[in-house]
């Protein structure tokens, strides 16, 4: 009987201690899904030199010209040259990209065809020219197609004045920064000219507002409801990608002055021009949000759940919320992690290339250093050049040196894949 009483007392003491712990130590809870986690509340773990991620399903090479559409051009459209066809994901619609005889180079027109190759209607009016055909893309649900276009009459070189090369001597002293990248530049304060209002169309294409710098347009799968979703005269939108749910676009845009400056620098160095832009989120209703004031050449990527956008800046990745009334953002600096992993990578490469020379190395030479190495001594310490968000918790990024010249020469070296393992920070649940 006495032993039973002792057991009961011990049980009561343990229960009391547990209750006190629950009272004085707030409980934590993890969000149900990564979509519910604001960018500001993400944790990460860095893994260096991992295998390349599997290519997404929509990363297939450009399709061949659709035979039925090509036959229609050969039979009844001899004055027009079919450049390429872009099929919707469900294969029910085909967008034809073509040029008429006499059209300027890099000036394109768009028509919509049915999946069986039957012509439906013209998409672009006579007053519009489509640019950058390589980035024309259907939404994942096949309901919309987005492309970049400008006013056919005029255009960049003949309407907007060339920037004054001597207007910003301080910026010209730094070849890595275009003039408008300083504190006085603002993409929303670029000099703007009134948009071009086209005359009534005569070819069956819709009447639509056009601009003298490249803007993003969207139409539906019937080739109807054509409209500009960006209307920022003076900005050039040169890249975009649909969110996986097809509701938004992540885009890069540069001011006209920045574009021309970088273009002139590339021409001067005989390099292939690579534009730099500021990342933005553009909704189908035209609402737009600039994500960052810094320029980047790395294309933004969406999280698989369409809740976030990631962008690379040199040795840093930034993640932005795309949903919610109070979106947040988070910067993930990776310089130190890349320094240490590059040091280990270079040592491994040196050992593989010269095993005899390293045979007499000190025993502790391969031990992790407690001091950050000098970046000038590391061949593989390179900036971020590509991102791939393969799963909600897996964000891959590639670093490397990439340089291409107009002669066809160039270099692509030290290309390495790394990844971030993302996880939600636990949320403290306070007691009431």
Per-residue pLDDT of the chain (432 residues; tens, 9 = 90+): 555 555 555 555 555 555 544 544 555 566 668 999 999 999 999 999 999 998 765 556 677 899 999 999 999 999 999 999 999 999 999 999 999 999 999 899 999 999 999 999 999 999 999 999 999 999 999 999 999 999 987 444 333 443 333 333 333 333 334 433 333 334 344 444 445 444 444 456 667 999 999 999 999 999 999 999 999 999 999 999 999 999 999 999 999 999 999 999 999 999 999 999 999 999 999 999 999 999 999 999 999 999 999 999 999 999 999 998 899 999 999 999 999 999 999 999 998 887 655 555 555 555 556 689 999 999 999 999 999 999 999 999 999 999 999 888 888 899 999 999 999 987 665 554
Long-range contacts of the stretch 201-206 (C-beta < 8 A, 24+):
201/125, 201/126, 201/127, 202/126, 203/122, 203/125, 203/126, 204/121, 204/122, 205/121, 205/122, 205/123, 205/124, 205/125, 205/126, 205/128, 206/125
Same domain assignment for residues 301 and 184: yes
Which residues on adjacent β-strands are paired with residue 108? Answer: 130
Q: What residues make up the domain containing 172? A: 67-333
Pairing of strands 410-424, 42-47: antiparallel
Give domain status of residue 284, yes or no: yes
Same domain assignment for residues 132 and 260: yes
Same domain assignment for residues 132 and 215: yes
Domain boundary (333, 367, 389) is at 333
Same domain assignment for residues 85 and 170: yes
Give domain status of residue 6, yes or no: no
Domain boundary (269, 301, 333) is at 333
Give domain status of residue 325, yes or no: yes
Same domain assignment for residues 188 and 254: yes
Same domain assignment for residues 200 and 190: yes
- Pairwise CA distance, residues 296 & 253, whole Å: 10
Threshold 0.95, pTM exceeds: no
165 within 8 A of 172, measured Cβ to Cβ: yes
Same domain assignment for residues 155 and 74: yes
Give domain status of residue 250, yes or no: yes
Classify residue 341 as exposed, middle or buried by CB count within 10 Å of its CB (0-12, 13-18, 19+): buried
Q: If you search the block for the tokens 């190495």, which residue do you land on?
A: 373
For residue 225, the domain's CATH number is: 2.130.10
Cα separations in angstroms, 222 against 65, 72, 92: 20, 18, 10
318 within 8 A of 351, measured Cβ to Cβ: no
Give domain status of residue 184, yes or no: yes
Same domain assignment for residues 271 and 381: no
Same domain assignment for residues 111 and 48: no
- Pairwise CA distance, residues 279 & 264, whole Å: 22
Number of independent structural domains in the chain: 2
Q: Helix or strand or coil: residue 97?
A: strand
Same domain assignment for residues 80 and 38: no
Domain boundary (305, 333, 361) is at 333
CA 332, 334, 336 angle in degrees (round to 5)? 135
């Amino acid at each position: 009987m006495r032993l039973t009483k002792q057991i009961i007392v011990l049980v009561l003491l343990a229960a009391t201690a547990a209750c006190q712990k629950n009272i004085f130590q707030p409980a934590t809870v993890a969000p149900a899904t990564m979509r519910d986690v604001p960018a500001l509340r993400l944790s990460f773990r860095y893994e260096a030199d991992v295998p390349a991620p599997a290519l997404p399903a929509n990363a297939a090479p450009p399709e061949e010209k659709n035979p039925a559409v090509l036959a229609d051009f050969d039979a009844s459209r001899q004055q027009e040259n079919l450049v390429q066809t872009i099929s919707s994901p469900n294969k029910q619609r085909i967008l034809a990209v073509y040029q008429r005889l006499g059209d300027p180079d890099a000036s394109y027109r768009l028509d919509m065809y049915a999946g069986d190759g039957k012509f439906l209607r013209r998409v672009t009016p006579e007053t519009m020219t489509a640019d950058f055909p390589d980035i024309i893309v259907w939404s994942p649900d096949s309901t919309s197609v987005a492309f970049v276009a400008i006013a056919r009459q005029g255009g960049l070189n003949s309407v907007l004045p060339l920037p004054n090369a001597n207007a910003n001597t301080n910026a010209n002293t730094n070849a890595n920064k275009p003039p408008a990248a300083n504190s006085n530049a603002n993409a929303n304060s670029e000099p703007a000219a009134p948009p071009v209002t086209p005359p009534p169309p005569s070819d069956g294409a819709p009447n639509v507002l056009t601009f003298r710098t490249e803007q993003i347009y969207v139409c539906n799968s019937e080739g109807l409801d054509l409209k500009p979703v960006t209307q920022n005269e003076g900005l050039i939108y040169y890249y975009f990608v649909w969110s996986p749910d097809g509701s938004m676009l992540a885009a890069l845009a540069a001011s006209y002055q920045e574009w021309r400056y970088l273009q002139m620098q590339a021409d001067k160095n005989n390099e292939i021009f690579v534009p730099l832009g500021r990342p933005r989120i553009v909704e189908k209703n035209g609402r737009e949000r600039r994500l960052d004031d810094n320029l980047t050449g790395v294309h933004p990527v969406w999280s698989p759940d369409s809740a976030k956008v990631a962008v690379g800046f040199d040795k840093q990745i930034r993640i932005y919320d795309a949903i919610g009334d109070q979106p947040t953002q988070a910067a993930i600096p990776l310089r130190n992690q890349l320094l240490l992993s590059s040091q280990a990578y270079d040592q491994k490469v040196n050992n593989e290339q010269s095993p005899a020379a390293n045979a007499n190395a000190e025993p502790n030479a391969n031990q992790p250093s407690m001091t950050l190495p000098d970046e000038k001594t590391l061949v593989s310490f390179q900036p971020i050049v590509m991102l791939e968000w393969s799963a909600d918790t897996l964000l891959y990024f590639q670093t490397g040196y990439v340089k291409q010249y107009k002669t066809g020469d160039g270099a692509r070296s030290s290309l390495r894949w790394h990844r971030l393992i993302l996880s939600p920070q636990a949320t403290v649940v306070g007691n009431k």
